[in-house]
Amino acid sequence: ELTQEQKDRLQFVMDSYSKNRIPQDIATKLVLQDENNTDENFVFLTDMATSHVQVLVEFTKKLPGFQTLDHEDQIALLKGSAVEAMFLRSAELFNRKLLEWNTDLLEERIRNSGISNDYINPMFNFYKSVGELKMTKEEYAVLTAVVILTPDRQYIKDKESVEKLQEPFLDILEKLCKIHHPKNPQQFARLLGRLTELRTFSHHHTEMLLSWRVN
């Protein structure tokens, strides 16, 4: 069972995670724009990525202890985790059908945005492999906190302080896995395994943006 302190922490993070939404005007754009050309999809995806980052920063600011970190370390954590958190959030949106809009339409726009299939196919494979874990909303939220508070990001000066902030979330995540997936003792290890996969996306994302810009 979670301790009372862990329950309070989880509740606090869930409240903030629930507000973690892409603004309606961007969502509306997806539905209203009939024209489906590469340039428009490019602008659409960059707008959506920007919103993703802004929403992520708002979520991060409320993580207990984050605001006590050195300001440049705060930026280094966010820079190091933004892409991973974005892919994790996308995986959640696709798998839990959180989008009020059709995910098929979104997939079509992503596939028709000038990004090479070499990058897109592994991304949709990742969504599928995350989907197989049948994660709950709590697990997504806490895993996102774990991703953001990763102490070994580049340029972090005070790794120890970050570690101290991440640990309580790892403990909660381990318990949640046991509570929600009693028949699957490997759940916690599998979730952490997905983080390794996420890291490769961070690397691919940089290459992908470069090739996209050239095109």
Partner 1 sequence: PASNLGLEDIIRKALMGNYDD
Shortest separation between residue 46's beta carbon and partner 1, angstroms: 4
Nearest to 113 by CA among 43, 181, 176: 43
Which parts of 31-50 interact with partner 1 (CB under 8 A)? Answer: 43, 46-47, 50
Nearest to 215 by CA among 62, 88, 113, 122: 113
User: Does 179 contact partner 1 by CB under 8 A?
Assistant: no
| Contacts with 191 (C-beta within 8 Å, 6 or more apart), sequence order | 133, 135, 139, 143, 173, 177
The count of other CB atoms within 10 Å of the CB of residue 10 is: 22
Which among 53-61, 122-130, 139-147, 185-193 is the span making contact with partner 1, rule CB under 8 A? Answer: 53-61
Going by the DSSP 8-state scheme, the letter that residue 68 receives in this structure is G
Question: How far, in Å, are 25, 122, 197 from residue 116 at the CA level?
Answer: 27, 11, 19
Which parts of 60-89 interact with partner 1 (CB under 8 A)? Answer: 61, 71, 74-75, 78-79, 82
Shortest separation between residue 82's beta carbon and partner 1, angstroms: 6
User: Does 90 contact partner 1 by CB under 8 A?
Assistant: no
User: Does 113 contact partner 1 by CB under 8 A?
Assistant: no
Q: Which of 2, 27, 53, 195 binds partner 1 (CB under 8 A)?
A: 53
The binding site for partner 1 (CB under 8 A) comprises: 43, 46-47, 50, 53-54, 57-58, 61, 71, 74-75, 78-79, 82
